[in-house]
Amino acid sequence: MATVDSTAALLAPVDAPIFTAATIGFDAASNLLVTQAKAYLANPTASILAEIQTQIVTFQQQVNASLLQTAKIADPASQKHALSAIQEVGTVISAMLALVESISSKSAVAQMAARSTIKLAATEPFLDKSQAAQIVAVHYSEPLRLARMQVTEALQYQREAGF
């Protein structure tokens, strides 16, 4: 989130407000998701999992909407910085979504996908899969080749699930 918070300063003055508006709810959403995850780890109940399922889809949709808004930034350098920052958050959210999906029932995943109104197909042109793979490789201390395969598989699984 620190990267997103500091990115507006790197953008052309006319583009910073677009980026700021596009990412305005990220801090609150990430804080709520962290709180819910900690609560689930301390006491893994169905009700807390349901809250996490709702929150992860909500945050994922915020990221998707932000990608679409940021893609409208006219200055190429500003757009590149903005998309990169949002994608960093998106990569983390996609990983968390995959984790939540893995512990959710098929019907719960279907409900989550149904709440996903901005589909992956709309945002995929703005995703840098190489950047996502680098983030995954660094985070998990694994080879970049393996991370690329994981990113590709995760995106395919989300498409198939209806996200």
Residue 142, SS3 per DSSP: coil
**2 pLDDT more than 90:** no
- Alpha helices by DSSP H, the chain: 2-7, 16-22, 26-42, 46-70, 76-102, 106-114, 120-123, 129-140, 144-161
Please check whether residue 85 is in contact with residue 7, taking contact to mean a CB–CB distance below 8 angstroms: yes
**52 pLDDT more than 80:** yes
pLDDT of 53-71, one tens digit each?
999 999 999 999 999 999 8
Give the chain's mean pLDDT: 93
pLDDT of 15-46, one tens digit each?
999 999 999 999 999 999 999 999 999 999 99
pTM comes to 0.88
The predicted pLDDT at position 4 comes to 84
50 is written with which tokens? 């349901």
Q: List the domain boundaries for the chain.
A: 2-161
Which has more confidence, 106 or 2? 106
101 is written with which tokens? 């999906």
The predicted pLDDT at position 5 comes to 79
- Residue identified by tokens 């709520």 is 32
Q: What percent of the chain has pLDDT over 90?
A: 90
